[in-house]
């Protein structure tokens, strides 16, 4: 049996990534390194012969998706629900800025806690809900053996992935961030969907393990 797969691909690098600034929904473009990252990653992802490409409409994601579209001949569907978390008044700030202007937020980060909602911002749960909905729609749109690519952002991918898989919110922090132009691969399986690659830069290899042969209990 061949399974459906959804690839969650993060955009390439931006100047704000380098500067350590919170981007959120600010439309920050790719820098030169980010554009090269997108070209390099697209060459590998194209070999999966994706059935479709859906992307956040922020330019750093849209331009990353465009590299894959150029190699596959596919159109990119614009999907605003794949945007990054809206960080409101904290967008454009560095950690030092946050420490001086919002000490309670910085303290929560240091303690590993969820920071309070920013004025004009979202919280992880809200981002996870909207991105998980898109992942579900993408999976349902695939035929057996097909691959769909969703181009999004770091927090959006992490929270959407966790919400889609039904993980308790208190465990979402156990997943590290996704690197620029790296991806996560979700594959349909006998019990539903599961992660077969996380924060990857190479294509998934077949798993040669008894875990794949053992009968379901």
Catalytic residue ranges: 11, 84
Long-range contacts from 26-29, C-beta under 8 angstroms, 24+ separation:
26/91, 26/92, 27/58, 27/59, 27/60, 28/58, 28/59, 28/60, 29/59, 29/60, 29/63
167-176 LR contacts (CB < 8 Å, sep 24+) = 169/124, 169/125, 169/128, 172/124, 172/128, 173/112
Name beta bridge partners: 147: 5
135 Cβ partners below 8 Å, 6+ apart? 6, 8, 150, 160, 161, 164, 186
Place of tokens 């594959």: 187
Element housing 95 (H / E): helix 95-101
> Could you give the 3-state DSSP secondary structure of residue 184?
strand
């Amino acid at each position: 049996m061949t399974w459906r797969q959804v690839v969650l691909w993060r955009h390439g690098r931006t100047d704000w990534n380098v500067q350590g600034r919170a981007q959120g929904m600010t439309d920050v473009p790719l820098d030169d390194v980010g554009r090269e990252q997108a070209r390099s990653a697209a060459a590998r992802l194209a070999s999966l012969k994706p059935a479709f490409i859906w992307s956040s409409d922020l330019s750093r994601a849209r331009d990353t998706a465009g590299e894959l579209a150029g190699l596959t001949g596919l159109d990119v569907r614009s999907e605003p629900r794949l945007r990054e978390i809206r960080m409101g008044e904290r967008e454009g700030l560095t950690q030092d800025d946050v420490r001086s202007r919002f000490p309670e937020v910085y303290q929560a980060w240091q303690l590993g806690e969820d920071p309070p909602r920013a004025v004009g911002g979202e919280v992880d749960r809200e981002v996870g809900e909207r991105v998980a909905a898109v992942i579900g729609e993408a999976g349902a749109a695939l035929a057996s053996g097909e691959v769909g690519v969703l181009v999004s952002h770091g927090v959006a991918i992490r929270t959407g992935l966790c919400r889609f898989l039904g993980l308790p919110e208190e465990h979402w922090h156990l997943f590290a961030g996704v690197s620029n132009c790296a991806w996560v691969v979700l594959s349909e399986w006998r019990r539903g969907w599961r992660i077969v690659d996380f924060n990857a830069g190479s294509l998934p290899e077949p798993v040669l393990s008894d875990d794949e042969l053992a009968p379901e209990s």
